[in-house]
Amino acid sequence: MRDGSHVVAHQFTREQVQAVARGLDEAGVPYIEVSHGDGLGGSTIQYGRSLVDEMELIEAAVASCRQAKVAVLLIPGIGTVHELKEAQKRGAGLVRVATHVTEADVSAQERATRRQRC
C-alpha cells in the first residue's frame, strides 16, 4: 500500500487501508508496507500531503491484521528516528531503510536504532 499511495496522491482513507490490509492478511501476505509513498515523514508540501496521518493508517492496518506484520519505509533525510519510534509504538513490526550509497552516513542513526530494537 505504501508505494500504491503515489497513485492516489497519498489520499488513502482509514477505511481503505483497513479493507486492503484485511484482504492482504486473509490472503496470507506476510508483510504489508504502510506509510506515505515517500516513507515515514513524507507528508509534506514537497512530497505531497497525506489525507490521513500515516500513524493513524499504520494503526488501522495493524488493527486489521491477524497474521501479517505491518512494515514501514524510512528514507533517511525524509523520515527520522522520531517517526520510526512512533511507528513502532503504533504497531509496525518491520522497517525497511532505503538509502543511496552516497547517503550511507546519513542513515547510520536509523540503522543503529533498528539494531537496538532487534
Report the distance separating Cα 66 and Cα 68, nearest Å.
6
Report the distance separating Cα 2 and Cα 16, nearest Å.
13
Which of 6, 36, 82, 100 is catalytic? The answer is: 6
Instruction: Compute CA distances 72 → 36, 65, 102, 104, whole Å.
Output: 9, 15, 22, 19
Q: Quote the radius of gyration of the chain (alpha carbons, Å).
A: 14
57 sits in which H/E element: helix 54-64
Active site residue 10: no
Instruction: Look at the block and give the residue holding cell 528516528.
Output: 81
What's the one-letter identity of residue 75?
I
Q: Which residues are known to be catalytic?
A: 6
